[in-house]
Structures are given as C-alpha cells and as structure tokens.
A and B are shown apart, each in its own frame.
Chain A
C-alpha cells in the first residue's frame, strides 16, 4: 500500500512562497489565479494491508514528524 501525504501551511498562516509563485504567474500573464499555496508531498510505501491500521499509523507519523501542526495541516490518501 502507498500513502500520499500532503503537507501545507494552515489557512490563515501567511504562505510567502505561495505569494511569490502567485506574483510570478501574474508576471507571465496568468491573471486568472486567485490564490497559490505551496506545500510538500511525502510518498510512503507501506508494508501493511490493513487500511485502518495504515491510516492510524500514518496519522501518527504526521502528528509526530511529517507535519508541524503549529503551522501546518496535512491530509493522507491511501492507494492500494
């Protein structure tokens, strides 16, 4: 099983990289973008077939290491 973890700054926490990318997009004339948030993706290959167990493990990984929940949100997608 694979777990795809997306980590990004919480809504309300200023994302300077997102802002810079937004400006750059405008400078190359993509004027229809209203907001940009930059995050990171962490792809885990898991030796686990139980989805509930996998979800609970990856949630713990996010809480303890993969995300800093003071400033970041995460979401987890499991792929069989």
Chain B
C-alpha cells in the first residue's frame, strides 16, 4: 500500500498524515507540488491540510494551478483514490474534483477543537470500516469550513449518496459548528474515488491525544 501525500508551499499537515498512515502499516511518500506526475504505484493520494499559498485569494485557489494538480486530476479521472483533508478538501473543490465550495465559517472565527461526526454513508472505501450513524470524535481546525452548494447540487448529493459525514453532538444529533449546508462535513464524488472532509482524521490516531477514531476511518483505504 503506497500513500502519496501532496505538499504545497504552506501545507502543514503532511507529516501528521505520513505518521498516521505509517502507523497503519502503509508506505508513504511526500510529493512536492512541482512534480508533474504521480508515481505509478500510488494506491492513495492525499491532499494534506494546511494553508497552501497562504490561502491567498481564496483557500485552495492558487494550489489548483500547481503542476502536480494536472497529474492528480488525471489520476482521479482514471479511478485513482484521492483524499482531501481540510485545505486538501478546499483544493479539490477549487479544482472541480468535488462539487461545492468552502466559505468563511459563519461565526467568522477560526475553529480548533474536537467535534463529533456522524457517518452518513459508508458505501465507499473510506468509511467502510464504520457503520452508518456511527459517531466519531475528530479534531477540526479551519477558518473556511462552511460548505456551500446550491439547492440543485445538494439534491444531487443526496440522490447519489455523496454526503458521507455530517457534524453532530456526541449522541449523533445534528450540530453545526461552521454554517455548512445541512451540517455537511465530508463528501465524495459520484464515482466514489475522490473524498473530501474538513475534519482531521490524521490527528485522531492516539487515545492519549483525545481520540483514536481516525484509525477506523483511514484504515478503510488500507484494506481496499
């Protein structure tokens, strides 16, 4: 299992992500954004969190034109598995690999805390280790995490079961930290090979640090 982790100027979660996947037994490699290709033996490509290009203009807006993104798009269109975490999710929406957009949090505050998430749809490699309606506890850390999609787009997400995670409280009742449409925390594309979420499963790998619920989430990719 080979996990490739993208690194743009301003990415800051690439080493956490590397550590998380290595602790699950995967081989990992950090790939600088200047690369024009994705290694042939890539099993999963992760667009890691951070602040690519300082979030200038809009989060993810400049990163989508990095040389590597053309290769990522090709890789994804050929069915390759892609996971965008936080800023990675923003990059994937900007690049058009996932629908919708991420706006400034409704409260205008940067949010950095643990938050509960409900599994809405486990019919995909990412969340297949979990059951629908399971609740996990995973850190969030974002300023622009307010997911937006228009009414037609939202209908399509529901119809195709593309909403995979929603924000909730510890009992699974919907609870919205940032103003996201329908409390959406994570989605996938129609083909179910591109995933994006604002929360950080790679930061929930140790009970000692508050939660190890990220293990069950990321493990899905390893056993695919």
Contact = CB atoms under 8 A, between A and B. Distances in A.
Interface of A: 9, 13-14, 16-17, 20, 65-66, 68, 70-71
Contact of B148 (A13, A17, A20): A13
A65 B179 contact: no
B104 A66 contact: no
Interface of A (DSSP majority class): mixed
A68 to B, nearest CB: 5
A71 B150 CA distance: 9
A3 to B, nearest CB: 16
A71 B179 contact: no
Interface of B: 57-58, 61-62, 65, 93-94, 100-101, 103-108, 146, 148-150, 179
Given A70-B100, A70-B148, A71-B148, A16 B57 contact: no
21 contacts: A9-B103, A13-B103, A13-B148, A14-B103, A14-B106, A16-B106, A16-B108, A16-B179, A17-B104, A20-B108, A65-B62, A65-B65, A66-B57, A68-B58, A68-B61, A68-B94, A68-B101, A70-B100, A70-B101, A70-B149, A70-B150
